[in-house]
């Protein structure tokens, strides 16, 4: 009888150790973005810091929404922006998870951070996103005004290459009107990924 009690106690102790590990693993999802002629970018999506934004992004990835779209706005020392639908059919807008809109988003804008693009309306973000390619004052000023939701954990060299190769074709606001000069996202998919320490 004592042996059985000891086994039950051991199982309960192990269960308390396993549960937090399981919870932690669900806090993040990983997305592999393949850009034609450039390579892969691995994005770590924080499902808790900005849950509405993160769930929307993951849903669009799973729906293959981004496949074939491009980075149409690129600026040195700032960011690369993509995800604008070619047919003009923009998905529904979502709640803007940032301080100016009453939401305390803990992710700060810096090199490698992914965030949602929007219009002047706080709750207008839908599908367009941007990846910061620098940590300049201009990038820092985005804190509290845009919904950051993750980080590039692998492939910033790809982001840098897209920046250096396509930024020269943009206008004063970074818009690249010549689609043949835009870097194209061939595929985005949710993957299993283990970060190296």
Write the pLDDT tens digit of every residue in 89-104: 899 999 999 999 999 9
What pLDDT is stored for residue 10 in this prediction?
A: 38
Q: What is the CATH classification number for the domain harbouring 177?
A: 2.40.100.10
Between the alpha carbon of residue 35 and those of residues 49, 71, 113, 158, the distances in Å are 26, 10, 18, 8
The count of domains in the chain is 1
Q: Cα-flanking dihedrals φ and ψ of residue 92, to 5°?
A: -60, 145
Domain assignment present for 9: no
pLDDT score of 169 more than 50: yes
Q: What percent of the chain has pLDDT above 90?
A: 83
In the structure, what pLDDT confidence band is assigned to residue 5 with cuts at 50, 70 and 90? low
Q: What is the pTM of this model?
A: 0.86
Task: Residue 108: give the domain boundaries.
Answer: 28-191
Nearest alpha-carbon partner for 117 in 155, 67, 174, 46: 174
Could you tell me if residue 51 is inside a domain? yes
Q: Above 70 in pLDDT, residue 22?
A: no
Asked whether residue 129 is assigned to any structural domain, the reply reads yes
Residue 22 lies in a domain: no
Asked if 53 and 43 touch (Cβ cutoff 8 Å), the reply is no
110 part of a folded domain? yes
- What is the tens place of the pLDDT at every residue in 118-141? 999 999 999 999 999 999 999 999
- The secondary structure of residue 78, as a DSSP letter, is T
| Dist. CA 67–CA 77, nearest whole Å | 26
- Does a structural domain hold residue 32? yes
């Amino acid at each position: 009888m004592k042996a059985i009690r000891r086994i039950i106690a051991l199982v309960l102790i192990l269960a308390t150790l396993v549960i937090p590990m399981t919870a932690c693993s669900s806090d993040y999802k990983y997305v592999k973005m393949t850009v034609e002629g450039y390579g892969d970018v691995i994005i770590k999506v924080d499902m808790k810091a900005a849950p509405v934004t993160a769930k929307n992004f993951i849903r669009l990835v799973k729906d293959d929404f981004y496949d074939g779209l491009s980075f149409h706005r690129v600026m040195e020392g700032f960011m690369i922006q993509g995800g604008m639908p070619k047919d003009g059919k923009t998905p529904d807008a979502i709640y803007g998870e940032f301080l100016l809109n009453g939401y305390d988003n803990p992710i700060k804008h810096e090199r490698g951070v992914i965030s949602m693009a929007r219009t002047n309306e706080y709750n207008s973000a839908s599908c367009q996103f941007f990846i910061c390619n620098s940590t300049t004052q201009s990038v820092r000023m985005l804190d509290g005004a845009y919904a950051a939701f993750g980080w590039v954990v692998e492939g910033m060299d790809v982001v840098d290459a897209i920046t250096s190769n396509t930024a020269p074709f943009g206008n004063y606001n970074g818009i690249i009107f010549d689609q043949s000069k835009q870097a194209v996202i061939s595929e985005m998919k949710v993957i299993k990924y283990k970060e190296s320490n």
